[in-house]
Structure 1
Amino acid sequence: MPVSNQVIESGNRIFMGVKTPSYMVITWGCQMNEDDSRQMGSLLEQMGYARASDELDADVILLNTCSVRAKPEQKMSTRLGELSIIKRDKPHLIIGVCGCTAERQGAALLRRWKSVNLIMGTANIYELPSLLARVKSGERVLAVGLPERGGQAPQVSVERAGVQVGLKEFVPAMYGCNNFCAYCVVPYT
């Protein structure tokens, strides 16, 4: 929402007159969760969002969590309670639950948490821009489900958004791959 003649700080970006939308991705779980969160952040940055410095600054908060262990789900529930309170004073805040917990609990999460706008499964990350557009139009969105057997979910390029690529990287081959890297058995399985 444009604001005239004011300096506004959002995450690490300062602009005259216009607040840059900001996001926060909170991750609990395994390496796949970490990689999925990185892809979500990359997509949001490609959409023009800046990383928020805290929850009060964020316009979009995505909780990405594992469902293999109980602890991440407990942390998610606690955080959803806290975010629900923030959303009372900040109704434009978009709250999403992502990852395996979203896959497993899907519609039940939407029923339980009226403050949640988006439930997004692991195979739906590349749809984040269109899912956010639906949320912004007033819809509460449930997007879960795995690609068909043999299908491959598109991977998000994290380099385009200026994300630093380090010495250790995650290679999410669970959706399949046909690159035939010398060290990998996935294309042969």
Structure 2
Amino acid sequence: MTASTPRRFLHRRQKVPGPPSAAVPGEPAAMPANRSSARRAVINPAQKDAWEQRQTQVDTGHLPLAILDASDDQVAAELAAQGVTAEQVRNAIEEAWDAGTTDGKPWRFPTPDGLPPITLNASLVIDQVIQTSETGFAINPAALLVALTNSRCLAGTVLYRLRTLSTTPDNIARCPCQDT
């Protein structure tokens, strides 16, 4: 080992980058870097909601509640196009849970981190939205709502029933059963 080696090593160690700068308020948030971080952006609020309600799993009913809490204008416009309000969605999903309706069988085993696990249906809907996303890995809340509406799961059933209760010509044209 030569005498210059430690000096080069110390010189490289001193060039450690500082902490990342905070996001500027009012600027759009950075797009998720990968599929996992995009999933986390949707799943974290849904898991928090399920944990607060002391439910055993995160099913597709938690996903629209999580995006409704974000209060996005696109989500409100999509619901209005379906003839449904956010409060109707929230009440219908809570009524379905009170009646014992879930996506599949309830999870019976404790989880290591204490947060409820995500059901297969909820995971598949999120993956479908990420795969069809035109903006990379970002999840558009309105696209998630449309994917939930067109799926055969708890949230899809609730949204479909609400939409058929407030039938308008636009809702009939958007009905997934007429695509076949």
Instruction: Please report the TM-score for the alignment, with normalisation by the length of structure 1.
Output: 0.24
Q: Which has the larger radius of gyration?
A: 2
Greater relative CO (CA pairs within 8 A, separation 6+): 2
Larger % of helix: which? 2
